[in-house]
Structure 1
Amino acid sequence: MIEVTLDYVLLKRKMTSKELAEKIGITQSNLSILKTGKAKGIRFETLNKICEVLECQPGDILRFHEDN
């Protein structure tokens, strides 16, 4: 299972979801779907923009956990 830890990175960067959505060019509702883990996928282009704006690596916002 993939866990999205974007909220944690946003908190560390002192940035709101609204600011991030504006900077990467997606709607707040689409960002919310990603943050809550309800997204079925993410485009590499979007992931690239998130990492660029937050100055992080994909592994900082996505974590893998074994299903139990």
Structure 2
Amino acid sequence: MITIKVSIKLNKLLSEKNISHREFARMTGVRHPSISEMCNNETKRLPLDNLAKICEVLECDITDVLQLEKDPSE
């Protein structure tokens, strides 16, 4: 059975816009450790209000931040 996981593309988006993790935390009101976990794809739970803030600040859609992909370990 193929395992599918959700990948967070936040680190790439922030790099493209030249925004640091710390600055983005200030812009969104989301805690810096949470931003770092998302950027490193270590997040186990992503509150919808945080996702909405991220999309609002980056002026993007949810699909620009999240992506479904096959687990490479399979």
| Superposition TM-score, scaled by structure 2 size | 0.81
Would you identify which runs of 4 or more consecutive aligned residues in structure 1 move more than 2 Å? none
- Percent identical pairs in the alignment equals 28
More helix by share: 1
> For the pair shown, which has the larger CA radius of gyration, 1 or 2?
2
Deviation, structure 1 residue 38: 1.4
Unaligned runs of 5+ in 2: none
Give secondary structure in 1 for the equivalent of 2:27.
helix
Give secondary structure in 2 for the equivalent of 1:65.
strand
| Superposition TM-score, scaled by structure 1 size | 0.87
Partner of 1:49: 53
Partner of 2:36: 32
CA distance in 1, matches of 2:26, 2:41: 20
CA distance in 2, matches of 1:13, 1:55: 11
CA distance in 1, matches of 2:37, 2:13: 16
